[in-house]
Amino acid sequence: MKLASAQIESTVGDIEGNLKKHSKMIRLAAQSQADLIVFPEMSITGYCREEGKELALTEADARLNILKESAKKHRVIIVAGAPIAIENALYIGSFIFKPDGNTEIYTKQYLHEGEEEFYSSSFDYNPTIKIDNELIIFAICADIDNEQHPKDAKSNQCTIYMPSIFFSKKGINEGHRLLSEYAQKYSFSVLMSNYSGYLWNIEAGGRSSFWDDTGLNRAQLSPNKEGLLIMEKAGNTWINEIYE
């Protein structure tokens, strides 16, 4: 089993340009025969609040076809984020594109202060993915600030916890501390994807990482470069590949 974390710099509103970066990372992950690739919070649109309603995507949006086709072509699960419109509500969510052509949606359960002005939260969209004997459960950014989220993940038999985040250069140390603590406390591995570069007038912290189920950080990307972290599980051992 191989899992990939993509670290990119998205531009708010430049969906076409952001999707090109997704495609590049997906092709790179596919060359290593990754089973799944995860991107940062709202990676397709760039992190946004006021612009969320205008930039919102639905599952049927034709612009997502490139990711749907990539999932089929490369036989890889793609987890990419955006403001997602479902019925009459707007959520911060992740699309999960599968090789069989199906798409699932995860919605952020715990919002940052200020996000509730523009987005709703929901516990109703909480899919899991099973690869080999591993059960993957997703999270988005502020979800990890509320310990109930990883606690619930463990109650649902999670073995790999997978947050898509937007943590700043100033905040990433705290994000690393929390995820290491959760990995150790709940005995699951963690694969996290964060942005690099500037977004929403904030310098992102990068350092997308993997922690094993003892809380040990086994590999991470740099603070300020786009890149791809691939983790392969061989028996009980994790092996990493880094592309920057």
pLDDT tens-digit map of 170-223? 999 999 999 999 999 999 999 999 999 999 889 999 999 999 999 999 999 999
Query: Confidence band (pLDDT; 50, 70, 90) for 235?
Result: confident
Span 27-37, mean pLDDT?
Answer: 98
Span 24-51, mean pLDDT?
Answer: 98
CB pairs under 8 A, 24+ apart, for 106-111?
Answer: 106/79, 106/138, 106/140, 108/140, 108/141, 108/142, 108/143, 109/140, 109/143, 109/146, 109/149, 110/142, 110/143, 110/145, 110/146, 110/149, 111/142
Domains of the chain: 2-243 (3.60.110.10)
pTM of the model: 0.98
Q: Yes or no: say if 183 and 212 are a contact pair by the CB < 8 Å rule.
A: yes
